[in-house]
Amino acid sequence: MVGGPPCQPYSVVGRSRDPNRMELDSRNFLYEHYLRILEHIQPDFFVFENVPGLMTAQSEGEKVFARMLEDFRGVFPSYEIAPSFDEYSRNPRQYLLDSSRYGIPQKRKRVVFIGYKKSLLDLNANVKDVFKAVLKPRPSGSWGYDVSSAIGDLPALSPGEGKDEWYGGYDHPAVTPYQARMRRGSPGFINHRARTHMASDLQRYRFFIEHHKNGNGAATLSDLIREKPELTPSHQNLDKFIDRFKVQWWNRPSSTIMAHISKDGHYYIHPDINQCRSFTVREAARCQSFPDNFKFEGKRTEQFRQVGNAVPPLLANAIARAIMGQLIKLWSEIS
């Protein structure tokens, strides 16, 4: 559903721009490249997704989120946003989508909005409710997935074990419906190889796992320094990043899988003390809702980055279904 004339170079924003501004602060203003694409394609619908930190980010004393919404409005006067700009401005956090509410075993909140051509309202006034369809509560049976549901059936590995490519077929049945869904259409596992870890990091991992298993709750770096000072890492800012080591517990959704997992696995420690390691690419992918037949290419660091930067497929599916529902209604009106 695309069409429209091509745009003029750098006509994206409805005001003058410093051409070097994006180079100076590229992370905050990457959305401008997205605006260029939309202006060229002119789709009936579009979807925008970003991290919650966008709401509080500032550049040159200006709130990035407010500037972004203004830019979308300025470039696309023939489009409307669901939720509306006014709704976002009043309470933007109300419209964060949490992946754990969509049958995904991960706590992952993201800013999402859906744009649509105002002219579509003439065919179906309910188009404006497309985002509300995404927000509808999922059936209770699709809630509450945790790390155990996600990765409990994957082969146990010690640090350094496994394979980046084909690992092997399934040697026992899936235990949970989520595992069965991830296995659908796949003959077995790929991208399931554990990192090697320094002996000191393995001792730290063991400390954090044992701390929780002994009924003391989740430990922080402060607990490690106080109880096991000999294991204090040689990092800077030890007092600021006290949760840089984090165990992903069996009975909870995982933490947000981020691209930083490509650098180290300290934030994604496997809950099984007998394995005592960080997540593999496949385990991270399972928590992101990638099916087992989805192969990640390149070096393992690049595979991790691909997983962490992705929109969880099951969340993308929920958004796509909401838009498809509106498209079906529009097609029925046209026909």
Domain containing 195 — which CATH number? 3.90.120.10
Encoded tokens for 85: 């700009």
Query: Is residue 5, in this structure, part of any structural domain at all?
Result: no
Q: List Cβ neighbours of 329 (8 Å cut-off, separation of 6 or more).
A: 124, 126
Please identify which residue in the block is written with the tokens 């962490």: 308
Considering the domain boundaries, does residue 8 fall inside one?
Answer: no
pLDDT, tens digit (0-9, with 9 covering 90-100), for 219-256: 888 889 899 999 988 876 666 677 889 999 999 999 99
What's the CA gap between 208 and 188, in Å, rounded?
31
Do residues 60 and 204 share a domain?
no
Same domain, 139 and 165: no
- Identify the weakest region by mean pLDDT among 82-96, 178-192, 265-279, 298-312: 82-96
Residues 157 and 32 in one domain: no
Q: What integer is the mean pLDDT of 300-310?
A: 96
Whether 115 is covered by a domain: the verdict is yes
pLDDT band at 31 (very low <50, low <70, confident <90, very high): confident
Pick the catalytic residue from 7, 135, 320, 327: 7
Please indicate, yes or no, if residue 13 is contained in any of the structural domains: no
The pair of structure tokens assigned to 180 is 């069965």
Whether 79 has a pLDDT exceeding 50, the answer reads: yes
* Total residue count of the chain as it appears in this document: 335
- The answer to which of 39-53, 125-139, 241-255, 289-303 has the lowest mean pLDDT is 125-139
Residue 305 neighbours by CB under 8 Å, 6+ apart: 259, 262
Q: How many domains does the chain have?
A: 2
In a domain, 16, yes or no: no
- One domain, residues 162 and 305: yes
Is residue 9, in this structure, part of any structural domain at all? Answer: no
Are 301 and 152 in a shared domain? Answer: yes
Residue type, 140: S
**Which of 201, 220, 212 minimizes the C-alpha distance to 278?**
201
Residue 7 lies in a domain: no
Q: Are residues 258 and 182 in the same domain?
A: yes
Residues 122 and 97 in one domain: yes
Do 161 and 235 sit in the same domain of this protein?
yes
This prediction's pTM: 0.86
> Which is more confident, 34 or 142?
34
In terms of DSSP bridges, do strands 109-117 and 188-193 run parallel, antiparallel, or are they unpaired?
Answer: unpaired
Q: What's the domain range around 239?
A: 147-312
Do residues 197 and 278 both lie within one domain? yes
* Identity of the highest mean pLDDT range in 7-21, 80-94, 106-120, 290-304: 290-304
Query: What is the widest separation between alpha-carbon atoms in the chain?
Result: 73
Q: What is the mean pLDDT of residues 109-137?
A: 89
Distances in Å between the Cα of 281 and the Cα atoms of 38, 117, 168, 301 are: 33, 39, 15, 9
Confirm if 235 and 88 have CB atoms less than 8 A apart. Answer: no
Residues 276 and 324 in one domain: no
- Residue 295 and residue 189 share a domain: yes
Contact 284, 294 (CB under 8 A): no
Catalytic residue status for 287: no
pLDDT digits over 252-262, tens only? 999 999 999 99
User: Within this chain, do residues 139 and 158 fall inside the same structural domain, yes or no?
Assistant: no
For β-strands 162-169 and 188-193, DSSP reports them as antiparallel
pLDDT (tens digit per residue) in 13-29: 444 444 444 444 455 67
Instruction: Give the lowest-confidence range in 57-61, 63-67, 143-147.
Output: 143-147
Q: Which residues pair with 79 in a beta bridge?
A: 117
The reply to whether 27 falls in a domain is yes
